[in-house]
Amino acid sequence: LLVLDATTGQNAIIQAKMFSETVQVSGIFLAKLDGTARGGIVIAIKDMLDIPVKFVGLGEKPEDIAEFDPDEFVEALFA
């Protein structure tokens, strides 16, 4: 599971590519999605590397971890 910071932007593609060349990546945990970042970079990562998003971090506490819901994510991108 690869943890990416939602505020990283385009650098997340490079991080995901390099990480997946070294170890098998089963999915992405997108952290800091509760901030100003929208995390749209995960769409590019999914397209380029076929790595699915499994979880998102919506705060600082363990209970702020949620399973990724693609419909909610797309809705939030355009909200």
For the segment 32-62, what is each residue's pLDDT rounded down to a tens digit?
887 666 677 888 888 888 999 999 998 899 9
By C-alpha distance, which of 31, 40, 44, 30 is closest to 79?
A: 40
Q: pTM of the predicted model, to two decimals?
A: 0.82
Question: What's 2-77's CATH class?
Answer: alpha beta
**pLDDT at 7 exceeding the cut of 70:** yes
The residue ranges of every structural domain in the chain are 2-77
With 0-12 / 13-18 / 19 or more C-beta atoms within 10 angstroms meaning exposed / middle / buried, residue 14 is exposed
Q: Assign 34 to helix, strand or coil.
A: coil
